[in-house]
C-alpha cells in the first residue's frame, strides 16, 4: 500500500473523536501555546525519520 492513501485514511479516523465531542478536553489549560509546537515537532520528526529510512534503502 502506498503511504499517501494510508495517511489520508488515518486522518479522519484519528480526528473523528475530536470533532464529535461537546467541548470537554483532556489537555491542560495553557496547552494552546505548547501543544501546536509539539504537534509540529512530532510531524517534522516523523518526516525526518521516514526520509532517513527511505534513504538507507
- pLDDT tens readout for residues 26-48: 666 677 778 888 899 999 999 99
Check residue 22 and report its DSSP letter. Answer: S
Q: What is the pTM of this model?
A: 0.47
Range of the domain at 32: 24-57
Does 11 have pLDDT greater than 80? no
**What is the number of structural domains in the chain?**
1
Does 18 have pLDDT greater than 70? no
Give domain status of residue 13, yes or no.
Answer: no
- The residue assigned the cell 500500500 is 1
Phi-psi category of residue 24: left, alpha or beta, with phi > 0 → left and psi -120 to 50 → alpha: beta
- The residue assigned the cell 475530536 is 18
Give domain status of residue 9, yes or no.
Answer: no
Q: Supply the Cα-derived Rg of the chain in whole angstroms.
A: 15
Give domain status of residue 45, yes or no.
Answer: yes
Give domain status of residue 55, yes or no.
Answer: yes
Amino acid at each position: 500500500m502506498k503511504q499517501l492513501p494510508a495517511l489520508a485514511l488515518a486522518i479522519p479516523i484519528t480526528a473523528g473523536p475530536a470533532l464529535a465531542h461537546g467541548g470537554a478536553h483532556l489537555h491542560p489549560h495553557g496547552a494552546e501555546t505548547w501543544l501546536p509546537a509539539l504537534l509540529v515537532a512530532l510531524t517534522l520528526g516523523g518526516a525526518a525519520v521516514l526520509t532517513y529510512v527511505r534513504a538507507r534503502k
